[in-house]
């Protein structure tokens, strides 16, 4: 609806649009979506900065940390506490003391007044540098908070995260510490690399369709089989806890998708969920059912969305790592430049002090009576030595010389001072050498981190390609589908009464049923509770790819009997097809499934000149063709009756080939159903 801005309603629409855009932008940038460069959401960044401000090497009560973080974070203490516990349980940046919950069982952490935390050595070394950090006023203007931290490790891919904003969401998978740093080294060396996720709960991961962080993952629990009646779960899929896993198993057992005798959770430091099986149930079949019908297998759809240059962007895992590596190299170069400046300034100060004391320049100011004359005298006395210095002398240099105490001058050690100058010069040379090869320096930095911290973070998830579990094959055949001919209803809620006319079939809820009617019509349906199919159903059963049908039918227009063999036909669900031409006189005389020896006897109409009034046929002599083929004519004579004699002994009765005039009258060309 179009509204002009001049009207009150138009102004209201404009107000809503403006406020909604502001709210959307705030939620995306300040709450839900992490930053690409330091990999943190604002609440995580504020928690880490607060821990750095409080850091004295000892543990702090989480309640105190939450209270201090509230000076930077404009939201409630519960959101800060939840974020801190989540960050601490990732085990990279925060050391824990006390009960921080259990990521395996889903148990909650203790109250914040009972648990303690502090920054880990890795966080202290790689996250903070005031010289490289841009600070802005906090929400109330009382404190300063960082815009982003100068992280030296790819935290976005290391930690992983989830967030739901307005109109967008992010789901970034965690990756292995060692693999990330090795990939950075490979990138710096110009080599190709590929990254796959690694989950803290372990498990087995099929990353075939990972698509650089924006595809699909399949995660499985790790199952072991100590004996034929026991299955033990030792690792969990991503985002799953033992509690949710047990609930899904119990739900599948209640719906008869699998059978278990008991399930026990012994999880503590490691996952251990024991499943006991009842008598007659095989562990191999149960394992397939666990993957098919429970949370033992999960499908995850990651989406790598992050804030890049103040805008939300979707990127690939390798793109993010390359950007983080370029940023690491730039930050290390800035640090080296800052360090070089400090070393040169230190060398300059020490050199001036050496000249001032060794050349006894302080003697020249003894006769001066005012400060201006003293400064002028020192400047004049240093002029002969300017070539030994690396920069011009400033007022600050003169002030520093004047602050030297007599006691220090009297105890001045020339040899020690010269050694210190040589050490500083050596450090300056090493720093300049590092600056001349930033790629090599960055690689050395990453290799040093790997040497010192890599052993703490081994890969926990196994990468393996596995096939899809067929739910139909894994499902238990726990339904009995009945057909009540008198009412014409079929379904697993139909109870049969007349065992002669009615039919039954055992199947699972995932199976499909093939229905074949007496007039040659057939179709495939899903298993139904109760469905009207009419009284003309001749045969029904579970659809199987290798099922062979042996059919004898009367072709109405010719009043002739034909036989044919065919396998399970291709189909579209609920669409009707035909096995032979529709006619009011066309009907099925006999239908038998199976590839074993099938024999029939046909009773023929009596004839005065005929030697035999019946013939036999072995279906092994009939070729297997399509369901729509017309088939092979049984005989030219009128057939009165067809009898299945598969399990009866053979008698001296002629076959169709032995009757005169019938040789070669066999197959007709196939017709489409």
User: Residue 353: which H helix or E strand, with range?
Assistant: helix 317-358
Q: Within its chain, how far is the Cα of 110 from the centroid?
A: 29
Is 371 an active-site residue? no
Q: Within its chain, how far is the Cα of 498 from the centroid?
A: 53
DSSP-assigned states of every residue in 433-482:
HHHHTHHHHHHHHHHHHHHHHGGGS---SEE---PPP-HHHHS---EEEE
Sign of CA dihedral 466, 467, 470, 473: negative
| Torsion on CA atoms 328, 331, 335, 341, rounded to nearest 10 | 140
> In whole angstroms, what is the distance from residue 491 CA to residue 505 CA?
10
**Structure letter (DSSP) for residue 107:** P
> In whole angstroms, what is the distance from residue 617 CA to residue 402 CA?
124
DSSP-assigned states of every residue in 65-80:
HHHHHTTT--S-HHHH
| Alpha helices for 172-316 (secondary structure H) | 177-188, 242-254, 283-293
Selected catalytic residue, list 23, 26, 114, 139: 114
| Alpha helices for 144-278 (secondary structure H) | 155-159, 177-188, 242-254
User: Is the CB of residue 465 less than 8 Å from the CB of residue 184?
Assistant: no
Nearest to 225, CA basis, from 172, 164, 267, 287: 287
User: Is the CB of residue 478 less than 8 Å from the CB of residue 508?
Assistant: yes
The CA radius of gyration of the chain, in Å to the nearest whole number, is 42
3-class secondary-structure state, position 64: helix
Tell me the C-alpha to C-alpha distance, in Å, between residue 460 and each of 171, 202, 272, 446, 457.
Answer: 20, 5, 16, 21, 8
Q: Which residues are 298's β-sheet partners?
A: 219
Nearest to 602, CA basis, from 569, 565, 570, 644: 644
User: Residue 263: which H helix or E strand, with range?
Assistant: strand 262-265
Give the end-to-end CA distance of the chain in Å, rounded to a whole number. Answer: 54
Question: Any residues with CB less than 8 A from the CB of 67 and at least 6 apart, and which?
Answer: 77
Positions marked catalytic: 114
């Amino acid at each position: 609806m179009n509204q002009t801005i001049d009207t009150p309603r138009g102004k209201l629409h404009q107000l809503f649009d403006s406020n909604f855009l502001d709210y959307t932008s705030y939620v995306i940038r300040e709450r839900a979506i992490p930053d690409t460069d330091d990999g943190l959401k604002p609440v995580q960044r504020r928690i880490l900065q607060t821990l750095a401000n409080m850091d004295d090497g000892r543990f702090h009560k989480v309640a105190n940390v939450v209270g201090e973080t509230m000076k930077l974070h404009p939201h409630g203490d519960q959101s800060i506490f939840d974020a801190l516990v989540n960050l601490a349980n990732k085990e990279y940046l925060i050391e824990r003391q006390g009960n921080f919950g259990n990521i395996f069982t889903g148990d909650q952490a203790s109250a914040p007044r009972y648990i303690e935390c502090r920054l880990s050595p890795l966080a202290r070394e790689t996250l903070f540098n005031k010289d490289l950090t841009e600070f802005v006023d906090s929400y109330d203007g009382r404190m300063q908070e960082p815009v982003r931290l100068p992280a030296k490790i790819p935290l976005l891919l290391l930690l992983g995260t989830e967030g739901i904003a307005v109109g967008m969401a992010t789901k970034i998978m965690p990756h292995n510490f060692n693999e990330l740093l090795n990939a950075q080294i490979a990138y710096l060396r110009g080599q190709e690399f590929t990254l796959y996720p690694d989950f803290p709960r372990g498990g087995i991961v099929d990353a075939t369709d990972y698509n650089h962080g924006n595809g699909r993952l399949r995660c499985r629990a790790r199952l072991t089989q100590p004996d034929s009646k026991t299955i033990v779960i030792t690792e969990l899929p991503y985002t799953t806890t033992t509690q949710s896993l047990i609930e899904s198993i119990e739900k599948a057992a209640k719906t008869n998708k699998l059978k278990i005798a008991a399930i026990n959770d012994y999880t503590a430091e490691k996952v251990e969920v024991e499943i006991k099986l009842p008598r007659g149930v095989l562990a191999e079949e149960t394992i397939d059912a666990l993957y098919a019908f429970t949370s033992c297998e999960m499908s995850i759809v990651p989406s790598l969305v992050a804030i890049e240059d103040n805008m939300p962007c979707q990127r690939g895992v390798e793109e993010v790592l390359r950007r983080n590596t370029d940023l690491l190299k730039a930050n290390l170069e800035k640090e080296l430049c800052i360090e070089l400046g400090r070393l040169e300034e230190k060398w300059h100060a020490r050199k001036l002090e050496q000249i001032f004391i060794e050349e006894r320049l302080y003697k020249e100011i003894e006769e001066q009576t005012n400060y201006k004359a003293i400064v002028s005298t020192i400047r004049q006395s240093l002029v002969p030595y300017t070539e030994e210095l690396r920069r011009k002398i400033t007022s600050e240099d003169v002030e520093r010389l004047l602050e030297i105490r007599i006691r220090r001058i009297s105890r001045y050690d020339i040899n020690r001072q010269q050694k210190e100058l040589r050490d500083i010069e050596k450090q300056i040379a090493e720093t300049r050498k590092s600056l001349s090869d930033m790629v090599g320096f960055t690689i050395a930095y990453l290799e040093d981190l790997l040497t010192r911290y890599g052993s703490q973070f081994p890969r926990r998830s196994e990468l393996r390609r596995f096939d899809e579990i067929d739910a139909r094959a894994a499902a238990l055949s726990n339904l009995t589908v009945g057909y009540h001919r008198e009412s014409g209803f079929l379904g697993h809620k139909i109870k049969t009464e007349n065992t002669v006319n009615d039919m039954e079939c055992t199947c699972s809820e995932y199976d499909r049923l093939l229905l074949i009617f007496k007039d040659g019509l057939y179709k495939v349906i899903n298993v139904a509770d109760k469905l009207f199919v009419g009284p003309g159903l001749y045969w029904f059963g579970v659809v199987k790819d290798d099922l062979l049908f042996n059919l004898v039918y009367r072709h109405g227009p010719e009043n002739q009997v034909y036989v044919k063999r065919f396998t399970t036909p291709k189909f579209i669900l609920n669409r009707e097809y035909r096995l032979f031409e529709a006619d009011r006189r066309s009907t099925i005389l006999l239908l038998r499934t199976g590839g074993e020896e099938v024999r029939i006897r046909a009773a023929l109409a009596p004839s005065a000149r005929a030697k035999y009034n019946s013939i036999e046929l072995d279906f092994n002599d009939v070729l297997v063709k399509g369901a729509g083929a017309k088939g092979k004519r049984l005989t030219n004579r009128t057939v009165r009756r067809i009898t299945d004699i598969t399990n009866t002994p053979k008698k001296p009765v002629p076959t169709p080939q032995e009757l005169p005039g019938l040789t070669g009258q066999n197959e007709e060309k196939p017709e489409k159903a």
